Structure formats: C-alpha cells, structure tokens
C-alpha cells in the first residue's frame, strides 16, 4: 500500500518570488531557510507524489462557480496566470498530474463517503499552488494531485471540514494499492490583511495574538483547539485573508493530529509566514 511519509504547510505569497533572490535579504533568510529545509526532506524521504492542497485566488474558480473542494484529475497542469508573470515575475510552468491517485481520493465510479468533491480535468494553477512547488521541487519533477480548497470567497467550508479533508486524504493514501511514498503539502497565511489598514505593517502581524495561539495548536497537535479557535469571526477579525490559515488544518489532520516537528510563524518583510512540517514517526 502507499505510504504518507511527510506533510508540510508553507506560505504562497507571490511577492516572495521577486524579493527572495540571491543574496537573500536578511529579513527573508528565515523564510528561504525553511523552504530549503522542507525541500531537503522531500528529497531525503524519496517522495514519489505530492497531494498539493491550496486555494485558487479567483482565477480558475469564481463566485458564479465555486465548489468547496475540487480534486484535479488532469494528466498535466499549466501553471501561472499572466498577471502573476507580469506583477511578480513568476515563470509559466507545466506540472505533471497523477490521475490514479486523484481517482482514489475523489472517487471514480462513486463519490466518496467523506466529501462530495468536485473534479476538474482542465485547470490552470495559480500561485497558491505553483509558488510552493517552485521552492520545494524546483525541477517540478514530482507529479501532483492538486486539491482546491475554498478559503478565498465566502461562504467558506468550516474548519472541521478541512480536518475531514485531511483525514480522508490520509485514508485514501493508506488504501491505495501502490508502493508510492506520498507527501501532503498545503499553503496559506498566518494573520494577513491585503488592501486594508493592517497590510504588511513593516513585517508585523495583523494579529500577533492569533499567530501565537495558532502556532501553539500545531506545536501541541491539538486539533480540537485549532478547529475551535478558527471560527469565522475569530479568523476574519485577525485579517481579511487570514482564513487561508485554515488550509493548514488539512495537513495537521492528515498526520493524525500529531504535534508538528516544526511550527513557526516565520518573520518576514511581509506578514509572518506559516511553516509547519511533520515526518511520519
């Protein structure tokens, strides 16, 4: 059977792509180092496939058609939209998909009991998916199963649904008749405000208290505290894009609610960046 060997959560702020070049600026050394640490573990653990959980930023999925959870079933994916290339210098890329594992996760003949997934066989990935992969697998040589989670436009799935997704991904991998070694990678934010009065406060958090609590939930492996602490009112009060922190609960639940091996809201010139990872014991 396939084996889930690693899970991690990272930022996907596209501004990093222009700023984080050699020599790495001092205020981004921690971010760059954590990306390198995760990339090294993916290589060391000989990961064959990545389940890539992220949020589209109103490019592929819009308010008139916005499923809560979408599994990609394409053989390959175009990456990066024109405005991302223009504004952030991100490259256009092609990423290999993995239909077999996608079928296991979403269901082939019948939808799964856990979640009624939408599926997509034609999908152009934005920076919520591509930016982490450019740092973690720069050759883009590991196939992916992308899963869009709607933490961008209301109404959102509840935090408990993100945890259910993580458990379902883990169960699907364990049930898959394959020798593959699989990682779950998700991306999101800590407290983050874009376009509001608390945007990028000189590298400060828009809600430092929330960030401290959130890191503690994952460091302790306290999934119930994380679910309860990520109420709509609490998370949105911390910043207008902070709900993308809830993406991280997918990785926590996929690893059985275990305490993270590393948990940090890494300082940067922007909002603090989420970095969490778990290695299978």
Question: pLDDT tens digits, residue range 95-152?
Answer: 999 999 999 999 877 878 888 899 999 899 999 999 999 999 999 999 999 999 998 8
Question: pLDDT tens digits, residue range 151-181?
Answer: 888 898 999 999 999 999 999 999 999 999 9
Average pLDDT over residues 75-89: 95
Q: Could you please report the per-residue DSSP string of 158-217?
A: PHHHHHHHHHHHHHHHHHS-S--EEEEEEEE-SS--SSSTTTTBTTB-S-HHHHHHHHHH
How high is the pLDDT of residue 96?
A: 98
Question: pLDDT tens digits, residue range 193-221?
Answer: 665 655 666 566 778 889 999 999 999 99
Cα distance between residue 119 and residue 133, in whole Å: 21
Burial classification of residue 173, based on how many CB atoms lie within 10 Å of its CB (0-12 exposed, 13-18 middle, 19 or more buried): buried
Cα distance between residue 252 and residue 9, in whole Å: 9
CB 205 within 8 A of CB 145: no
The DSSP letter of residue 63 is: T
The DSSP letter of residue 225 is: H
- Is the peptide bond between 23 and the residue preceding it cis, with omega within 30 degrees of 0? yes
Q: At what angle do helices 29-44 and 127-136 cross, to 10 degrees?
A: 70
**Closest to 132 measured CA to CA, from 275, 279, 278:** 275
Element (H, E) at 144: strand 144-149
Please name each of the domains of the chain with its CATH number: 3-279 (3.40.830.10)
Q: Pull the structure tokens for residue 109.
A: 């003949």
How high is the pLDDT of residue 200?
A: 62
Better-predicted residue by pLDDT, 236 or 93: 93
Element (H, E) at 82: helix 82-88
How high is the pLDDT of residue 42?
A: 98
Report CA-CA distances (Å) from 42 to 21, 141, 236, 247.
22, 12, 33, 20
User: Which residues on adjacent β-strands are paired with residue 281?
Assistant: none
Cα distance between residue 206 and residue 232, in whole Å: 16
For the chain, give the percent of residues with pLDDT over 90: 74
Q: Calculate the average pLDDT of the chain.
A: 92
């Amino acid at each position: 059977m396939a084996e889930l060997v690693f899970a991690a959560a990272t930022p996907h702020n596209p501004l990093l792509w222009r700023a984080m070049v050699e020599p790495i600026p001092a205020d981004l050394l921690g971010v760059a180092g954590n990306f390198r640490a995760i990339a090294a573990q993916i290589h060391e653990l000989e990961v064959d496939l990545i389940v890539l959980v992220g949020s589209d930023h109103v490019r592929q999925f819009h308010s008139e058609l916005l499923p809560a959870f979408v599994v990609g079933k394409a053989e390959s994916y175009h990456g990066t939209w024109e405005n991302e290339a223009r504004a952030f210098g991100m490259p256009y890329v092609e990423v290999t998909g993995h239909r077999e594992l996608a079928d296991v996760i979403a269901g082939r003949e019948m939808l799964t009991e856990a979640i009624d997934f939408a599926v997509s066989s034609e999908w152009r990935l934005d920076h919520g998916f591509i930016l982490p992969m450019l740092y973690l697998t720069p050759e883009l040589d590991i196939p992916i199963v992308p899963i869009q989670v709607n933490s961008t436009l209301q109404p959102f799935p509840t935090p408990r649904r993100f945890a259910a997704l993580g458990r379902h991904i883990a169960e699907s991998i364990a049930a898959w008749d394959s020798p593959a070694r699989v990682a779950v990678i998700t991306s999101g934010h800590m407290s983050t405000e874009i376009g509001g009065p608390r945007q990028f406060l000189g590298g400060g958090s828009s809600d430092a208290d929330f960030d401290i609590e959130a890191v503690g939930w994952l460091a302790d492996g306290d999934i119930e505290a994380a679910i309860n602490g990520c109420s709509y009112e609490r998370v949105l009060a911390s910043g207008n894009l902070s709900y993308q922190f809830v993406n991280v609960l997918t990785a926590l639940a996929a690893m059985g609610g275990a305490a993270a091996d590393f948990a940090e809201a890494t300082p940067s010139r922007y909002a603090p960046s989420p970095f969490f990872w778990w290695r299978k014991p």
